[in-house]
Amino acid sequence: MKRLFIAVKTDPEGDLLRMFSSLKAALGAENIKWVDPANLHLTLAFLGDTEEKRIGSLHPMLGERCSGFGVFDFILAGAGVFKNFRDPRVIWVGIRSAEKLTMLYNLINQGLKNIGFELEEPQFRPHLTLGRIKSVRDNDNLKSFLEKYKDTEFQKVEVKEVILFESILLQT
């Protein structure tokens, strides 16, 4: 079994890297598992533990679904948390100009269904996860920091490929 997901790779630069560094410094005393900037990505489908025999059908499906889709961009903009500021779980950077990304998400998810993958289908909320919060003592500090960036455009991301990733969980 391999733990798999389908995603778009994102190479952070400039304003995003500066904000991320400042965020980690401002919240350094909190219990947060930060994503390595080299591993930032936008997940299109999380497949979870997948049997080896099923993996072979993924590459042809992705090739078929993504063929002819072309290169497009989206904008990394804004920052916030999932669940809410009273009980934050994930710190994220948002996405603007996501129409083509949503079309790609729908194509891939239909392709996954066609080859027998059953996925949970929450509403697609494209984002980059910066950190997973284990606990925060100062929610007001977190909120005030992220509020400063709610309307900030960090960078444009050009999508040239969709990648099938394997996630390896490490004990920390």
Answer yes or no: are the C-beta atoms of 73 and 158 closer than 8 Å: yes
Mean pLDDT of 83-112: 94
Mean pLDDT of 58-77: 94
**Per-residue pLDDT tens over the stretch 3-37:** 999 999 999 999 999 999 999 999 988 999 999 99
Q: What is the pLDDT of residue 171?
A: 59
E strands, 25-66, in order: 31-34, 41-50
CA distances (Å), origin 35, targets 58, 75, 172: 26, 19, 13
Residue 41 in any domain: the answer is yes
**pTM (whole model) above 0.85:** yes
Q: What is the pLDDT of residue 119?
A: 79
What DSSP designation does 50 have? E
Q: Which residues are catalytic?
A: 41, 127
Residue 36 in any domain: the answer is yes
Query: pLDDT grade, residue 172 (50/70/90)?
Result: low
Residue 172 in any domain: the answer is no
**Per-residue pLDDT tens over the stretch 113-165:** 999 998 776 788 999 999 999 999 999 999 999 999 999 999 999 999 999 99
Which residue segment(s) compose the domain that 115 sits in? 2-166
Q: What is the pLDDT of residue 2?
A: 92
Residue 171 in any domain: the answer is no
Task: Give the CATH number for residue 45.
Answer: 3.90.1140.10
The torsion defined by the Cα of 167, 44, 160 and 35, in degrees rounded to 10, comes to -50
Per the structure, how many domains does the chain have?
1
